[in-house]
Each structure stands twice: as structure tokens, then as C-alpha cells.
Amino acid sequence: MSASDHQDGFIPYQPATYEAEEMLARSRAFYELMNTRRSVRVFSDRPVAREVIEHAIRAAGTAPSGAHKQPWSFCVVEDFELRKEIRKRAEQEEKQNYDSRMSDRWLKDLEPLGTNHIKPFITDAPYLIVMFKQAYGHDSEGNKQHHYYVNESVGIAAGMLITALHYAGLSALTHTPSPMNFLEELLDRPGNERAYLNIPVGYPSADARVPDLTRKAPEDFIHWY
Ligand code: IYR
């Protein structure tokens, strides 16, 4: 890289250089890998190396974001007492959801997933990653900094996180207790952060089963123009 490459704030980009055939094979293999991902709700307490979680989160942190503001925080909860407290608070909210806040149609739509207000995955899986979105940020002088397309940015990072975890051979669940503001309080997050997703991560329990679901056929969701 020469000095002149730097002058306008841009640097050269070195893209991958696969031949067409290799590209095709890689794209197929990656789709096939992703097609084996399932949301898992029953976890083993088998330990997982911290570094694996750290790498997956760092992969998520490479997500594109509005004006490159990277409006996210990832809290990894290992502490069992804290996970027990999070589970208690999540179950209190979910009990009200299932008992009275969710519509009959919603409950019916969830029947195939077999969910209810009891959330053992929060305490069974070795890690609970709580993703926060940052409604705004701060510059180096502490002034408020605008964030853009926050939901889109954090949603992309979440997708990349569950992809990285699956690639590593772990299972995860994208869990959204509602309301989830108790997480801001329990994890003592700063005022600009709002809880976005709860992601228990680990190995599935030995007898784990998942709903017998099918995915949409490509022609039902891919439209070429
Ligand atoms: N948050 C509740 C309910 C729930 C809602 C949807 I939409 C799901 O896809 C799954 C569950 C719960 O976690 O049980």
C-alpha cells in the first residue's frame, strides 16, 4: 500500500478471488450448512470455550451498520445466579403474555413450536448473550451522537451471530421476552441501550427435539426480475 492510497480516507480492498466453480461449490456448501440450523430450546450444561463465543460475537461485530455507528452491545451472561434472576423475570413477563396478553390467534400460531412461559434454556445453556441496541451514542467528548437504521443494523448483527454460532457447531435460540426492559436494569446498562434479543447458546441436550417444520420453497420467496 502506498502513502497516496491513504490520503482521502480510503484504502484498497482486497476481495476474495475464487474461480466460478469454486464459488458455486462454496455457495452450495454454505447454504447446505445453514439449512441444518434450527432454533433449539433444550440445552445441555456442557461447557463451551469462552473464545468460541468471543469469536462469534466478533464476527457479529463485523456487520454493516448505518453510517458505521455499530449501534450494538453484546452482554455475555455466564453467572448462574444472574441467569436465574433473568429467567425469573422473563418467566414472570411470559406468564402474563401466555395467560392474557397474547391473542388467541397468536397462541394458536405458536402451538407447533410447543412454547410456554417456562424458559429453562436461560439457566441450562452455559451462556446467555443479551444483545442491546444503542438508540444513540457518544462521541469522544461525550456529546450525543446520532445512530441510524438501528433496528436494521442490530438485526443484521444478530443474524451474523447466529450464523457464526451455527458454523462453530453450537446451537442458539433468538428469544424475545416481552417486555424486555428488565434486562437493562439487571445488567445495569447505560441509558442509551435497549434490550434487543436474548440468545442462549450451547449444545443441545442429548434428547433434544425440534418442531417438524419445513422451509418455504425457493420459488415462493425468491423473485428474479
Ligand atoms: N416471547 C414468547 C412468545 C413467542 C413469540 C413468538 I412470535 C415466537 O416465535 C416464539 C415465542 C416466548 O418466548 O415464549
Ligand 1 neighbours (beta carbon < 6 A) = 94, 97, 110, 113, 115, 175-178
Q: What's the grid cell of residue 221? A: 420467496
* Separation of CA 175 and ligand 1 centre (Å): 7
Pocket test for ligand 1, best of 42, 93, 107, 110 (most atoms within 8 A of CB): 110
User: Is the pLDDT assigned to residue 170 strictly greater than 80?
Assistant: yes
For 7-28, what is the mean pLDDT?
96
Looking from the CA of residue 106, the nearest atom of ligand 1 is 7
Nearest residue (by CA) to ligand 1, atom 9, is 110
Q: Where are the domains of the chain?
A: 43-204
CATH 3.40.50.1360 fits 43-204, yes or no: no
* Among 216, 199, 215, 212, residue whose Cα is nearest residue 41: 199
Considering only CA atoms, which of 122, 138, 133 is closest in space to residue 42? 122
| Per-residue model confidence (pLDDT) at position 7 | 78
- How crowded is residue 77: how many other Cβ atoms within 10 Å of its Cβ? 19
Q: What's the pTM value of the predicted model, to 2 decimals?
A: 0.96
Residue 4 has pLDDT above 60, yes or no: no
pLDDT digits (tens, 9 = 90+) for 56-73: 999 999 999 999 999 999
